[in-house]
Structure 1
């Protein structure tokens, strides 16, 4: 029997070995290649990556618009892969909310902001609809748009209205696909702040797919997807230095999957010209990585390597335990890659 305490510890998003293969005219494309992801309840996480890395495919699966070819995806206790058609409708109405990049996919052009927000409430048969509409207009700071149609709003107002629509039925998880893709920097910051504010006020879990470089100012955790797998994570926190000044700290981790594989950051691979094979050595508190043919390389007997080019991948117990997602081994000279950012919420 699952207790209330155990339920509270369960993540809102849990993906294990997620695979998605598309077949077109006899050609198979593997968009997701065994992706692992864990997002805790109430967290705000950004997914970043190059075009074709699998970000949008992941979001389509989590939203119930697509099914995985293999692996598992569980959102708010619902197994995506086993849902019936009726389950899928209920899931999309009550469990997840979705915000698209294009306004035309979020809002009905002939309805006002208040009417757009009311639509999902009407479809689900919710009561106290007027009160819920008022609450969301206030929460998103768009009371002045109540009687405006989308064409009468700015781009930022349209996206904040879209967030209100996605939140109308009180979903556990809010998914956003490039919500700032068509906005300027200032307006993008307003929309990202609105997503974070919604999470803090309503307790909703937020997963944002974005190319926006300023996203790090608004989330505690950024996950990079590369080649259909989670590759690296950046975790952020605030500390006080010796003088009492507030310092924003960002640490970058490589993600270790369930089979023990990890992807080194591209800059590490390029800097040391790592190709095909590398040498490994298990040290007391980290794993050393050397290019194939770089001098003598690591010695199995003494565990000491030549001082030539190498990359140390640290995996100390406290570092690994501190990762919020899949267990991350930190990279660079035996320590997590860490940035101290005074007076800034970015990771540089």
Structure 2
């Protein structure tokens, strides 16, 4: 009788995060260069159309460390896609600071911007059809960026392409064209294409937006694998709250500013098991301003003014009308 060997358990989020940090340190040449891989300070983007100005980003602050996997969430029109387009080099900011590694995204020439997009940043679009050329196989699609950049020999490109397809779980699709792939397989191939030139940062704009929940989970698992094994910093813009809970850090954007963050830390229980504990933080800008989470505002019906009281170890926030009523009663 042949014994069945159980499949190895998938690594948990904490393990993947540790692995990603280690790979990122190796890429950076040491632990002292881990912080501030992506920095935005007072970032502003104004669009002008027919004499009308629309402020998409109004003083946004954000710091993402090297090797992090971060989800950026927000309602339509909040500015999250504008931010992603600026960081990926597809759009130019109006004012403020936007820096990725040594690249100043406000001061780049057209030539340096092109070099940045080719060598520094990988990008995955929401629409599966935009990520792959339909007349090339999956393997040829992954080889193409390396070929255009003049990297590796023909044999080296093919070997690297197969490694990347295997890494994202679609090695069996190497000889198929996009029309022969499912939506999830296309997006995982797109992830392999995006990191073919070994970029430092991978940006993904709603990569699971056109997929069902199960298929979306497979695509996001591919992003986590790339982050863990290659040490690539990954920034994902998403509406999918199920995806947002699969990362150690989620940044919420509201009205063109960073509003809050959820950080998930690994804690070891009494029985030795590891669990992720989530904590939500409001983001305080340089002027001392912050946005309260919408759920808090709605729960307490906060409107117009609020009453602030400084306590020894915290600040108390109460509805202004309630505070005024209590004072009148006294």
Q: Aligned match of 1:193 in 211, 214, 221?
A: 221
1:212-260: CA deviations, max 9, x gaps? 1211342100111000011111101222333444432110111111211
State yes or no: 1:13 paired with 2:38. yes
Tell me what 2:122 maps to.
97
Tell me what 2:59 maps to.
34
Deviating more after overlay: 219-228 vs 243-252 = 243-252
Tell me what 2:258 maps to.
230
SS in 1 for 2:251: strand
Supply the distance in 2 between the matched residues of 1:84 and 1:298 (Cα, whole angstroms). 60
Report the alpha carbon displacement of residue 10 of structure 1 after superposing the two structures with TM.
3.4
Give the 3 Å change call, closer, same or farther, for CA 295–260 of structure 1 in structure 2: closer
Moved over 2 A (4+): 3-7, 240-248, 295-299
Tell me what 1:205 maps to.
233
Partners of 1:22 and 1:30 within 8 A in 2:
yes
Supply the distance in 1 between the matched residues of 2:180 and 2:215 (Cα, whole angstroms). 16
Deviating more after overlay: 200-209 vs 136-145 = 136-145
Q: In the TM superposition, what are the counterparts of 1:1-348 in structure 2 within 5 Å? A: 8-127=33-152, 128-295=156-323
SS in 2 for 1:179: coil
Give the 3 Å change call, closer, same or farther, for CA 248–297 of structure 1 in structure 2: farther
SS in 2 for 1:162: helix
Partners of 1:281 and 1:298 within 8 A in 2:
no
Report the alpha carbon displacement of residue 272 of structure 1 after superposing the two structures with TM.
2.1
Report the alpha carbon displacement of residue 11 of structure 1 after superposing the two structures with TM.
1.7
Name the TM-score, length of structure 2 as normaliser: 0.86
1:59-104: CA deviations, max 9, x gaps? 0100111111111110122110111111011100110000001122
Q: Which runs of 5+ in 1 are unaligned?
A: 300-305, 307-348
Partners of 2:200 and 2:233 within 8 A in 1:
yes
Q: CA RMSD in A?
A: 2.0
SS in 2 for 1:141: coil
Partners of 1:240 and 1:247 within 8 A in 2:
yes
SS in 1 for 2:321: coil
Q: Which of the two has greater helix per residue?
A: 2
Give the 3 Å change call, closer, same or farther, for CA 4–132 of structure 1 in structure 2: closer
Supply the distance in 1 between the matched residues of 2:169 and 2:93 (Cα, whole angstroms). 37
Q: Larger RCO: Structure 1 or Structure 2 (Cα < 8 Å, ≥ 6 residues apart)?
A: 2
Partners of 2:35 and 2:64 within 8 A in 1:
no
1:274-325: CA deviations, max 9, x gaps? 22222212110111112223245899xxxxxx9xxxxxxxxxxxxxxxxxxx
Partners of 2:41 and 2:98 within 8 A in 1:
yes
Supply the distance in 2 between the matched residues of 1:297 and 1:133 (Cα, whole angstroms). 68
Deviating more after overlay: 160-169 vs 5-14 = 5-14
Supply the distance in 2 between the matched residues of 1:106 and 1:26 (Cα, whole angstroms). 34
SS in 2 for 1:130: helix
Name the TM-score, length of structure 1 as normaliser: 0.82
